Structure 1
Amino acid sequence: MTTKRRNLKDFVFESSQTVSESQQPVSIMALSAIFLPSKQPRRYFDPVKMEQLIQSVKEYGILENLLIRPIPDQDGQYELVAGERRYRAAKACGLVEVPVTILELTDSEAISIALVENIQREDLNPVEETEAVLQLLALRLQCIQDEVVSLLYRMQNDVSRLTDNVISQPKAESLKAVFNELGLMGWESFVSNRLPLLKLPEDILDALRSGKIEYTKSRAIARVKNEQLRKNLLAEAIASGLSLNQIKERISNLNNGKPKQDESESALVKQRITSILDQVQKTKVWSNQKKQKQLEKLLSQIENLLESD
Structure 2
Amino acid sequence: WRAVTKLGWEKIPALVKEFNDSQTASIALIENLQREGLTSIEEAIAYAKLIELHGLTQESLAQRLGKGQSTVANKLRLLHLPEIVQHAILERHISERHARALLALKNEELQLQLLEEIVEKHLNVKQ
What TM-score do the two structures reach when normalised by structure 2? 0.70
The offset of 1:107, in angstroms, is 1.8
- For the residue of structure 2 that corresponds to 1:213, the secondary structure is coil
Alignment of 1:40-119 (within 5 A): 104-119=18-33
Aligned to 1:133: 47
Name the residue aligned to 2:9.
Answer: none
CA 1:181–1:215: 2 relative to 1, 3 Å: same
- The residue number in structure 1 matching 2:69 is 187
Match of residue 216 from structure 1: 97
**Of 184, 198, 202, which aligns to 2:83?**
202
Q: Highest Rg: 1 or 2?
A: 1
1:234 corresponds, among 112, 115, 123, to: 115
Distance 1:102 1:198, change over 3 A: same
Give the C-alpha shift of residue 117 in structure 1: 0.8
- Across the two proteins, how many residue pairs are aligned to each other? 115
- Which letter does structure 1 place at the counterpart of 2:95? E
1:224 shift after superposition: 6.8
What's the CA shift for 1:102? 9.5
* 8 A contact 1:200–1:219 mirrored in 2: no
1:226/1:107 CA distance change after superposition, 3 Å: closer
Amino acid at match of 2:97: T
The answer as to whether partners of 1:204 and 1:218 remain within 8 angstroms in 2 is yes
Equivalent residue number for residue 36 of structure 2? 122
Distance 2:27 2:40 in 1: 19
Runs (5+) with no aligned partner, structure 2 = 4-13
Instruction: Detail structure 1 runs of 4+ shifted over 6 Å in the superposition.
Output: none
Structure richer in strand, relative to its length: 1
Counterpart of 2:126 in structure 1 is: 245
**So what's the TM-score if we normalise by structure 1?**
0.32
- The percent of aligned pairs where both chains have the same amino acid is 34
Aligned-residue CA RMSD (Å): 2.8
C-alpha distance in 1 between matches for 2:90 and 2:29: 17
Report the AA paired with residue 112 of structure 2.
K
- Aligned twin of 2:6: none
Q: Deviations over 1:259-307 (max 9, x none)?
A: xxxxxxxxxxxxxxxxxxxxxxxxxxxxxxxxxxxxxxxxxxxxxxxxx
Higher relative contact order (CA 8 A, sep 6+): 2
User: Deviations for 1:208-256, whole angstroms, at most 9, x for unmatched residues?
Assistant: 12221112112323417371x543331231233211111xxxxxxxxxx
Deviations 1:108-162 (A, max 9, x none): 2221111001112232211120120121233233xxxxxx5xx55xxxxxxxxxx
Aligned to 2:107: 225
